[in-house]
Amino acid sequence: MDIDFSLVLVCLVAACGALWLLDSLLLKKPRMAAIEEHKHKAKGQNEEALQNELAELAREPVVIEYAKSFFPVLLIVLVLRSFLVEPFQIPTGSMIPTLKVGDFILVNKFAYGIRLPVIGTKIIDVDDPQRGEVMVFIPPHEDKYYIKRVIGLPGDTIRYEDKNLYVNGDLVEKEFLDNITVDTSIGDLAGTLYTEKIGGIEHTTQHIDAAGRRRARTTWVIPNGHYFMMGDNRDNSSDSREWGAVSEKDIVGKAIAVWMHKDPGLNLPNFSNNKLIR
């Protein structure tokens, strides 16, 4: 089961804030009154002993003390994660060779507009996704984060046939880069790397030389407010070719950089492949 960390953070911030407010409005007054009363009764008492007793009377309940300590830290984390930058780990190979399984990336949360945490409602417009950018989003068929490349914008006609991509009728040219061996669920297969340029962004795509999975549909017209997403691992990616275009309301942010990589299992993380994402 995936954990909604944004919801957890919001709940923790709200709980700590509520406890702090409760203490300020209701619980603090009796403590202050008890301190003043004790000061009046203890006139002439040893000063050191009096200060110890007053400190004990002023002591906050443990739960209030922790709430006040954690509230600013949690609030800063919530603001950073919700409105600025969110970390994300690549779970599958659908974006190979651009992104590998185990890459830790940073997602710019304000690139496409500032949204409220948890509910995702946009409150401030900033910019729209551009063709060729790598975007994190929630797909229409599953309530979890996906990452793919923006191929089609609202109103575009996208065609993908015989491993060739067409945008509004124009073939997206690809240039041979290298022959490779692709590790798949059915064993190693011959593959090819190509350099592709779309939306002014040059990137590498991976193809399996054998016939890929057959899709009944090859052409899509993108509705308003939606985006057509594809993985760079073109023959091994669950994307808009299967489950349709992504709604603008389900955008999470723009992937901007790889900051760490960790291979699955008992392997140490490394920083040798850190890079900006294109």
Q: 271 is written with which tokens?
A: 């920083």
What one-character DSSP code corresponds to residue 25? I
Task: Measure the CA angle with vertex 5, ends 3 and 6; round to 5°.
Answer: 135
What CA–CA distances, in Å, run from 237 to 96, 162, 270? 9, 16, 26
144 is catalytic: no
* pLDDT confidence of residue 124: 87
* Amino acid in position 141: H
Cis, bond preceding 97 (omega within 30 deg of 0): yes
Of 82, 94, 237, 240, which is the active-site residue?
94
* pLDDT confidence of residue 213: 60
* pLDDT confidence of residue 2: 58
* CATH pick for 90-276 out of 3.10.20.30, 2.60.40.350, 2.60.40.420, 2.10.109.10: 2.10.109.10
**Each residue's pLDDT tens digit, 167-225:** 999 999 999 999 999 887 777 889 999 999 999 999 999 999 876 566 778 999 999 99
pTM of full prediction above 0.95: no
Residues near 25 by Cβ (< 8 Å), separated by ≥ 6? none
CA distance linking residue 276 with residue 31, whole number of Å: 54
174 is catalytic: no
Q: At what angle do helices 62-79 and 5-22 cross, to 10 degrees?
A: 140
Of 82, 109, 148, 240, which is the active-site residue?
148
Residue ranges in the chain whose pLDDT is less than 70: 1-3, 42-48, 50, 53-54, 57, 211-214
* pLDDT confidence of residue 214: 63
Residue 184 half-sphere exposure toward CB, CA atoms < 13 A: 21
With contact defined as beta carbons under 8 Å apart, do 15 and 71 qualify?
A: no
* Amino acid in position 33: A
Domain ranges of the chain: 5-83, 90-276
CA distance linking residue 89 with residue 151, whole number of Å: 22
Residue 178: other Cβ atoms inside 10 A? 11
Phi, psi of 115 (to 5 degrees): -120, 150
Instruction: Tell me the H-state helices in 111-215.
Output: none
